[in-house]
Amino acid sequence: MTTMRIGLLGTGPWARSVHAPALAAHPGVDLTGVWGRRAEAAAALAQAHDSRPYADPEELFADCDAVALALPPSVQGPLAVRAAAAGCHLLLDKPVATSVPEARAVADATDRAGVASVVFFTARFGKEEGEWIAAQAAAGGWFTAHADWLAPVFVEGTSSPYAHSPWRREKGGLWDIGPHVLSVLLAVLGDAEAVTATRGPADTVLLTMRHSSGAASSATVGLTAPPAAAGVEVTLRGTAGVTALPRRQQGAEAAYHRAVDALLAAAGTGLPNACDVHFGLRVTEILAAAEASLDSLMPLGS
């Protein structure tokens, strides 16, 4: 396969700003078509990238080698299962799903079909962040880690295109930003063996984890941070000293280009990518456990 035919499912802000332009510009990809829940939006996005709209996702699956999904998690999961059953490789967005059964259904579908999968965790595919993560995982010896991953998406007057995203409003920063944090911490410190969570202001959640390496980590995530307090910081402390996640020098479109490269490689070699659907399932399992921890906490008396 010299050129992979990829169909795009989704027409929202993330699809318009990242997925569609990156797929259309990738030399190893033919952007076969676009499907969306709103036909007029699919037509407009397809026209902007010299592609064609599809009225039915099954018709798009039939014309593609792979599909890229830019949809809310509850919509992504069932469509990914159908696409895998049709023999399409999957380029998924995070989180794969917001329930463990839905995420497991996607993983099981890819296994049955024997198709490749990649989940687009932005930090893992960013050039600077990806190189740093790989270097710290190889170095080892980490004792603790802390992440602050805070955005002002829900702050009054925000210009964020995701401010009115229904699923983000429902699930908050734990499920929108939590996957980014876990994609970094799990890669460096190993799987999470235990997780607890505490509610902070608005949708803010504080996580603590014990990892298979023996290291402990903590993280603060949220979509309602004051603009002056927003930002991303991840710090590791260990035998090698202290190091911090570098700031991204390129935009998300460049990271998505590398995620497409990863899907092409996985499909071509049959070797799974580290950020495949099974990793995406594990992220969902950890977040679901954190959410359950939130619901089980009892407030302390005065």
Q: Torsion over CA of 89, 95, 100 and 106, rounded to 10 degrees?
A: -10
For residue 168, give Cα distances in angstroms to 156, 173, 190, 191, 223.
15, 7, 27, 25, 9
CA triple 203-294-200, angle to 5 deg: 35
Alpha-carbon distance values, 53 to 2, 9, 45 (Å):
24, 10, 8
d(CA 37, CA 55): 9
| Residue range 211-237, pLDDT digits in tens | 999 999 999 999 999 999 999 999 999
- CA–CA–CA angle 267, 99, 156 (5° rounding): 105
* Whether pLDDT at 1 is above 60: no
pLDDT in tens, 56-114: 999 999 999 999 999 999 999 999 999 999 999 999 999 999 999 999 999 999 999 99
For residue 5, pLDDT over 90 is answered with yes
pTM summary value: 0.95
Structure tokens that stand for 168 in this block: 């983000």
- The answer to whether the bond into 246 is cis (omega within 30° of 0) is no
- Is the confidence at residue 279, as pLDDT, over 70? yes
* Consecutive H or E run containing 221: strand 216-222
For residue 89, give the nearest of 182, 15, 6, 30 by alpha carbon: 6
CA-closest candidate to residue 15, choices 4, 2, 24: 24
Sheet holding 192-199: strands in order across? Answer: 192-199, 205-211, 216-222, 142-150, 231-238, 241-244
Task: Give the three-class secondary structure for 149.
Answer: strand
